[in-house]
Amino acid sequence: MSETKKIEVMENIHGENERIALETNQRLTEAGIFCVNVMGAPGAGKTSSIIQIIKNLKHVTPFVIEGDIESDLDTQTLTRLGIKTFQINTGGACHLDAPLIRDAVNMLAPNKKGILFIENIGNLVCPAEFVIGEHMKLLISTVTEGSDKPYKYPLAFEKADGVILNKSDLMPYIDFDLDFFTKGFRALNPQAPLFKVSAKTGDGFSQVAQWLEEKAMGLNEAKD
C-alpha cells in the first residue's frame, strides 16, 4: 500500500473520531460533567492518582471510565471504594478513541453533575493523538521514568492541560534532574500547572483536587 493511501486512511479515522468526540463533549457539558482524559506511561500510577484525587474532592461527584487492553483489576479496586466505574477492554488497541467513550458514557450513565475521569491506556505516545470528548488532558509522569521524558515524548507534554509528577517519595533513591525535566516541559508547554505528588503517601493531591474542582465548577457557571 502506498504512503499516500495510508495517510488518507489515517485522516479519515481522525476526522470521524473528532466529530464523535465533539458530540460527547457537548453532551457532557450539557449534563454538567467535566471530563478529564488521564494519560501516562504503563505503571505511572494513573489509577492510584485518580483515587487520591477523588479522596480530596469536596464538592463534586466523581465517575470513572477505566481503559485497559485486558483485565479489570483497576475497576475492581475503584468499585470496592464505592466509585461508580465502567470498564473498557480494548483487546489490543493502544489508546482509547471517541466511539469507545461515546458507548462507555451511555453504559455508565452518570446521573449527576461532577467529574468524569477517563483512564486511558498506559502509553505516552498514541493517546495524545486522539481526542475522546474530554474538557482537559491530565498527564501523569513519574520521577522513576527519568527526567528526559518531555524531550522524548513531546506530544503528550505539549497537549497536557496539567501534569502530575508522581512517585516523588522515591526522589531520595534515584537520579532525577527536576530542572532538566521542567526545562523540557516548559519549552513545549509554558502554561499548564505542574504538581509534584506521591500517590503512595497522598502528598500533593489536595492541590490537584482543588484545581480540578475549580475547573468543574467553572464549566457549570459558564453553562448556567
- Per CB under 8 A, residues contacting its own copies are 1, 5-6, 9, 12-13, 16, 41-43, 68-71, 73, 92, 94, 121-126, 129, 142, 144-146, 148-149, 151-155, 167, 169-170, 173-175, 200
Q: List the alpha helices (DSSP H) in 96-160.
A: 98-108, 149-152, 154-159
- Tell me phi and psi for residue 196, to 5 degrees: -90, 120
CB 154 to its own copies: min, Å = 6
The nearer residue to its own copies, 4 or 221, going by C-beta atoms, is 4
Check the CA dihedral 181-184-185-190 and report its sign.
positive
CB 56 to its own copies: min, Å = 21
**Dist. CA 113–CA 157, nearest whole Å:** 29
**Dist. CA 101–CA 97, nearest whole Å:** 7
Contact between residue 64 and residue 117 where contact means Cβ atoms under 8 Å apart = yes
CB 76 to its own copies: min, Å = 11
Contacts of 126 (CB under 8 A, 6+ apart): 94, 95
CB 6 to its own copies: min, Å = 7
The nearer residue to its own copies, 2 or 191, going by C-beta atoms, is 2
CB 103 to its own copies: min, Å = 14
The nearer residue to its own copies, 37 or 142, going by C-beta atoms, is 142
The nearer residue to its own copies, 41 or 118, going by C-beta atoms, is 41
